[in-house]
Amino acid sequence: MDSHPSAHRDLARARAALERGDTAGAAGHLAGALTHAPTLPEIHELLSRLAATAGGGLGLLPAEPHEPPGRMVARAHLLAAAGHPEDGLPLLVAASAGQPGTDWAGVPWVAAPALGARIEPGLLARTVMRLCTAVGDPAPAGTTDTLRPYLTVIRHAVAAHGEHAMLLGAGSALARRLGEVRLAVDWAARGARAQPSKLGEIWLGYAYRSAGRMPEALAALRRAVAYDPDDLSVYADVAATLADLDRLDEALRWTELALERDPDFDCVVHTAHRLRYRADGDVAHLVELADFIRDHPDDAHEHTDLEECCRESPWLGGMPSGAPLPPGRAPVNAEPSADAVRRLLRVATPTWAHPPAAYDRALGLVLVEPWELLSLLAHPAVTEARQPTGLEVWACLGLLHHGSAEPWLDSSRRRLLLGLLDGDLDRVTQAALFALVTYAWVDPGARSDVAAVVAGRLSEMSGPAARAVAELALAAPGLDRPTRELAAATIRVPVVPRQRRVNWLRRSFYKP
Complete DSSP assignment for 187-240: HHHHHHHHS--HHHHHHHHHHHHHTT-HHHHHHHHHHHHHH-TT-HHHHHHHHH
Residue 386 and residue 467 share a domain: yes
Q: What is the pLDDT of residue 211?
A: 96
**What is the spatial distance between Cα 436 and Cα 441, in angstroms, rounded to a whole number?**
9
Q: Per-residue pLDDT for 294 more than 70?
A: yes
**What is the spatial distance between Cα 21 and Cα 202, in angstroms, rounded to a whole number?**
55
Residue 346 and residue 210 share a domain: no
In terms of C-beta density within 10 A (0-12 exposed, 13-18 middle, 19 or more buried), how is residue 375 classed?
buried
- Number of structural domains (the chain) is 4
Question: What band does 311 get if pLDDT is binned at 50, 70 and 90?
Answer: very high
Give residue-wise pLDDT tens across range 409-440. Answer: 999 999 999 999 988 888 899 999 999 999 99
Q: Per-residue pLDDT for 398 more than 90?
A: yes
Residue 142 and residue 53 share a domain: no
Residue 344 and residue 480 share a domain: yes
Mean pLDDT of 169-177: 98
Question: What band does 493 get if pLDDT is binned at 50, 70 and 90?
Answer: low
Alpha helices by DSSP H, listed for 245-383, are 248-261, 266-280, 284-295, 305-310, 338-347, 355-361, 370-376, 380-383
Q: What is the pLDDT of residue 2?
A: 47
Kindly state whether residue 332 falls inside one of the protein's structural domains: no
Question: What band does 1 get if pLDDT is binned at 50, 70 and 90?
Answer: very low
Kindly state whether residue 89 falls inside one of the protein's structural domains: no
Residue 504 and residue 484 share a domain: no
Q: What is the pLDDT of residue 378?
A: 78
Question: What band does 322 get if pLDDT is binned at 50, 70 and 90?
Answer: low
Range name among 175-179, 381-385, 423-427, 458-462 with the lowest pLDDT average: 381-385
The answer to whether 193 touches 209, Cβ cutoff 8 Å, is no
Q: What is the pLDDT of residue 300?
A: 61
Q: What is the pLDDT of residue 464?
A: 87
The answer to whether 38 touches 106, Cβ cutoff 8 Å, is yes
Q: What is the pLDDT of residue 56?
A: 84
Give residue-wise pLDDT tens across range 200-231. Answer: 999 999 999 999 999 999 999 999 999 999 99
- Percentage of the chain modeled with pLDDT above 70: 92
Mean pLDDT of 292-309: 87
Tell me if residue 314 falls in helix, strand or coil: strand
Question: What band does 139 get if pLDDT is binned at 50, 70 and 90?
Answer: very high
Q: What is the pLDDT of residue 462?
A: 87
Kindly state whether residue 212 falls inside one of the protein's structural domains: yes
Q: What is the pLDDT of residue 321?
A: 77
Q: What are the angstrom distances between the C-alpha of 263 and each of 188, 292, 296, 502? A: 32, 11, 13, 10
Where b means 16+ CB within 10 Å and e means fewer, 102-133 reads: bbbbebebbbbeebbeebebeebbebbbebbb
The answer to whether 89 touches 77, Cβ cutoff 8 Å, is no
Q: What is the pLDDT of residue 509?
A: 33
In one-letter notation, the amino acid at residue 401 is: H
The per-residue pLDDT of the chain, averaged, comes to 90
In terms of C-beta density within 10 A (0-12 exposed, 13-18 middle, 19 or more buried), how is residue 68 classed?
middle
Kindly state whether residue 171 falls inside one of the protein's structural domains: yes
Kindly state whether residue 317 falls inside one of the protein's structural domains: no
**Top-confidence residue, 267 or 499:** 267
Question: What band does 384 get if pLDDT is binned at 50, 70 and 90?
Answer: low
Residue ranges making up the domain that contains 191 = 114-229
Range name among 157-161, 319-323, 362-366 with the lowest pLDDT average: 319-323
Q: What is the pLDDT of residue 323?
A: 52
Residue 164 and residue 133 share a domain: yes
Residue 269 and residue 218 share a domain: no
The answer to whether 495 touches 473, Cβ cutoff 8 Å, is no
Kindly state whether residue 394 falls inside one of the protein's structural domains: yes
Question: Phi and psi dihedrals of 314, rounded to 5?
Answer: -55, 125
Give residue-wise pLDDT tens across range 87-129. Answer: 999 999 999 999 999 999 999 999 999 999 999 999 999 999 9
Binning the chain into helix, strand and coil, the percentages to the nearest 5 are: 65, 0, 35
Q: Per-residue pLDDT for 511 more than 60?
A: no
Question: What band does 390 get if pLDDT is binned at 50, 70 and 90?
Answer: confident
Range name among 98-107, 140-149, 365-374, 501-510 with the lowest pLDDT average: 501-510
Kindly state whether residue 350 falls inside one of the protein's structural domains: yes
Residue 486 and residue 371 share a domain: yes
Q: What is the pLDDT of residue 385?
A: 57
pTM listed for this prediction: 0.85
Residues 502, 316, 426: CA angle, nearest 5 degrees: 140
Residue 507 and residue 483 share a domain: no
**What is the spatial distance between Cα 443 and Cα 438, in angstroms, rounded to a whole number?**
9
CATH classification of the domain holding 210: 1.25.40.10
Q: What is the pLDDT of residue 5?
A: 87
Mean pLDDT of 255-276: 96
Q: What are the angstrom distances between the C-alpha of 333 and each of 329, 369, 374, 433? A: 9, 14, 9, 21
Residue 222 and residue 267 share a domain: no
Kindly state whether residue 477 falls inside one of the protein's structural domains: yes
Give residue-wise pLDDT tens across range 248-257. Answer: 999 999 999 9
In one-letter notation, the amino acid at residue 186 is: D
Q: Per-residue pLDDT for 499 more than 60?
A: no
Mean pLDDT of 146-172: 96
Residue 15 and residue 72 share a domain: yes
Mean pLDDT of 282-289: 97
Q: Per-residue pLDDT for 508 more than 80?
A: no
Residue 471 and residue 342 share a domain: yes
